[in-house]
């Protein structure tokens, strides 16, 4: 739009061209280095606040995780003052949590090519559904605020399914800056479709289960390499028992509408950095029902052993978090819903190879086989 208007008012073609080039440069450069419209979030560390203070913080901000000495809170840069009013001793850890990506852009400008972009994930899912049409089906369950397609890949064996074949759901990139989660999940999917029919373990896994994969839950965050999606933390944007009619952003809302049409027995929402396997609840320190707890522990401990990760209830391991995915699936579907936080590796240090991530891959296989 800027360019069109300029060309109309400028009588000198060369001058217009120069202006075009200049504006194109200005417009392109931030897109190449970092999206100009990505909101800036800072991280703060706070000591152990009282329960009242923690509740206040939870209402206003994203209390991202429990740390050795307290909590880490993610705060939009322009609301730092509000945080400091509540916790004057809060310490700034990182002014912009996406600095790691910006520093990489300078140190290793080609690093993004090592990872799948949103478009390449969409393309790859379509290719898989076409070249493995006997076991793969790609569904579109809506669009996000920017009309990006929300896709779920369904894998199941060629054998006639029994009526009671368990349906499972594995998701990643709820937080768009957790880019290794997408690499890991896409490699896992590729392993399944390539191994079906030749690898007896994989064949049995798919013959006995229907597994739904959503590799990018929040396209907006993934496109911009940010934790936030449409300016919100998507993993605090699900309705939960304390706020049952919460109105979520489109990516989350459509995911919950899709979920309502299925009977999902177990789910894994894959996140990155904390090296933990966690079960609900997140919004309260009360545990899941006594009927469900032994099953959560049974399979959760296997995944923790496969990976060497910590294991426990979200509210204990991570801290209270309201509006998280695992709580929603467990609350609405009685789903054995886990948050699966893989160990982080900084971007640019190479995408996770199947060899390096054997522990995660084995945990995902054990998760499917449990049902």
- Tallying the residues shown for the chain, one arrives at 371
Cβ contacts of 28 within 8 Å, gap of 6 or more? none
Question: Can you tell me which of 180, 271, 322, 365 binds Zn ion, judged by CB under 5 A?
Answer: 271
Locus of tokens 């499972």? 168
| 236 forms part of the interface with Zn ion (CB under 5 A) | no
Cβ 175 to Zn ion shortest distance, Å: 4
Produce one character per residue of 345-354: b if its CB has 16 or more CB atoms within 10 Å, e if not: bebbeebbee
CA atoms within 13 A on the CB side of 291: 4
Q: Give the residue with the Cβ less far from Zn ion, 148 or 271.
A: 271
30-38, 78-86, 265-273, 300-308 -> range binding Zn ion (CB under 5 A): 265-273
Distance between CA atoms of residues 214 and 207, nearest Å: 20
13-21, 165-173, 204-212, 270-278 -> range binding Zn ion (CB under 5 A): 270-278
Distance between CA atoms of residues 330 and 288, nearest Å: 9
The DSSP-derived string for 341-366 is: EEEP--TTS-PPPTTTTHHHHHHHHH
Cβ 172 to Zn ion shortest distance, Å: 9
* Residues within window 139-178 making contact with Zn ion, judged by CB under 5 A: 175
Size of the site for Zn ion (CB under 5 A): 2
Residue 38: helix, strand or coil by DSSP? coil
* Residue at shortest CB range from Zn ion: 271
Q: Supply 16's token pair.
A: 């217009």
Cβ 321 to Zn ion shortest distance, Å: 10
Q: Give the residue with the Cβ less far from Zn ion, 233 or 361.
A: 233
Cβ 339 to Zn ion shortest distance, Å: 8
Cβ 235 to Zn ion shortest distance, Å: 6
Q: Give the residue with the Cβ less far from Zn ion, 180 or 271.
A: 271
Residue ranges that bind Zn ion, judged by CB under 5 A: 175, 271
């Amino acid at each position: 739009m800027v360019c069109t208007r300029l060309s109309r008012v400028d009588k000198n073609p060369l001058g217009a061209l120069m202006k075009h080039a200049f504006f194109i440069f200005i417009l392109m450069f931030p897109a190449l280095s970092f999206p100009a419209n990505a909101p800036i979030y800072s991280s703060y560390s706070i000591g152990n606040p009282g329960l009242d203070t923690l509740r206040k913080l939870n209402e206003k901000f994203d209390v991202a995780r429990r740390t050795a000495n307290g909590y880490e809170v993610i705060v939009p840069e322009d609301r730092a003052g509000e945080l400091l009013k509540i916790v004057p001793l809060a310490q700034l850890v990182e002014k912009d949590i996406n600095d790691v990506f910006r520093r990489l852009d300078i140190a290793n400008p080609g690093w993004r090519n090592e990872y799948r972009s949103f478009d390449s994930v969409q393309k790859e899912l379509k290719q898989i559904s076409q070249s493995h049409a006997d076991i793969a089906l790609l569904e579109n369950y809506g669009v996000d605020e920017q009309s990006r397609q929300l896709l779920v890949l369904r894998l199941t064996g060629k054998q006639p399914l029994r009526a009671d074949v368990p349906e499972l759901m594995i998701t990643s990139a709820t937080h768009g800056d957790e880019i290794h989660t997408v690499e890991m999940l896409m490699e896992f999917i590729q392993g399944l479709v390539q191994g079906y029919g030749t690898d007896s373990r994989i064949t049995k896994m798919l013959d006995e289960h229907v597994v739904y994969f959503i590799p990018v839950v929040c396209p907006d965050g993934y496109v911009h390499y940010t934790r936030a999606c449409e300016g919100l933390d998507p993993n605090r944007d699900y309705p939960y028992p304390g706020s049952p009619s919460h109105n979520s952003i489109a990516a989350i809302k459509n995911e919950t509408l899709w979920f309502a049409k299925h009977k999902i027995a177990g789910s894994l929402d894959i996140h990155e950095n904390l090296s933990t396997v966690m079960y609900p609840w997140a919004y309260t320190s009360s545990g899941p029902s006594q009927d469900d707890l032994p099953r959560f522990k049974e399979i959760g401990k296997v995944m923790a052993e496969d990976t060497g990760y910590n294991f426990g209830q979200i509210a204990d391991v991570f801290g209270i978090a309201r509006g998280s995915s695992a709580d929603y699936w467990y609350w609405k579907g009685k789903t054995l819903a886990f948050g699966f936080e893989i160990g982080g590796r900084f971007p640019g240090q190479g995408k996770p190879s199947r060899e390096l991530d054997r522990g995660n891959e084995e945990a995902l296989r054990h998760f499917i086989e449990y049902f």
